[in-house]
Amino acid sequence: MLFLYSMSTPQTISRIDSQVNEMLKKNSLSVTGSRKKILQLFLEQTGALAHGDIEKRAGEKFDRVTVYRTLQTFVDKGIIHTIPTADNSIRYALCKDQCSEGHHHDHHIHFVCTNCSNTYCLDDVVTPEIKLPKGYSAKHVEVVVEGICKKCKGPVP
Amino acid sequence: MLFLYSMSTPQTISRIDSQVNEMLKKNSLSVTGSRKKILQLFLEQTGALAHGDIEKRAGEKFDRVTVYRTLQTFVDKGIIHTIPTADNSIRYALCKDQCSEGHHHDHHIHFVCTNCSNTYCLDDVVTPEIKLPKGYSAKHVEVVVEGICKKCKGPVP
DNA sequence: ACCTAAAAGCAACCTTGTTGCAAAACAATT
DNA sequence: AATTGTTTTGCAACAAGGTTGCTTTTAGGT
Q: What is the pLDDT of residues A30-81, one digit of tens each?
A: 999 999 999 999 998 888 998 888 988 887 789 999 999 999 999 999 999 9
Residues A22, B45: Cα–Cα separation, whole Å: 51
Nearest-Å Rg of the Cα atoms of chain B is: 18
To the nearest whole Å, the CA of B57 is away from the closest chain A CA by 23
The mean pLDDT value for B54-64 works out to 87
- The secondary element (H helix, E strand) that includes residue A44 is helix A33-44
With 70 as the cut, is the pLDDT of residue A85 above it?
A: yes
Which residues, by CB, come closer than 7 Å to strand C?
Answer: A 29-30, 32-35, 61-63, 65-66, 69-70, 73, 88; B 30-33, 51-52, 64-65, 68-69, 72, 89-90
Which of A3-17, A21-35, B90-104 is the most confident on average? A21-35
B30 Cβ within 7 A of any nucleic strand D atom: yes
Give φ, ψ of A4 to 5 degrees.
Answer: -60, -35
- The secondary element (H helix, E strand) that includes residue B144 is strand B137-148
Computed over every residue of chain B, the mean pLDDT equals 83
- pLDDT above 90 as % of chain A: 42
pLDDT for res A104: 58
Torsion of CA B89, B92, B96, B99, to 10 degrees: 100
pTM summary value? 0.80
Is residue A139 less than 8 Å (CB to CB) from chain B? yes
Q: What 8-state DSSP symbol labels residue A2? A: -
With 60 as the cut, is the pLDDT of residue B99 above it?
A: no
Is residue B105 less than 8 Å (CB to CB) from chain A? no
With 80 as the cut, is the pLDDT of residue B45 above it?
A: yes
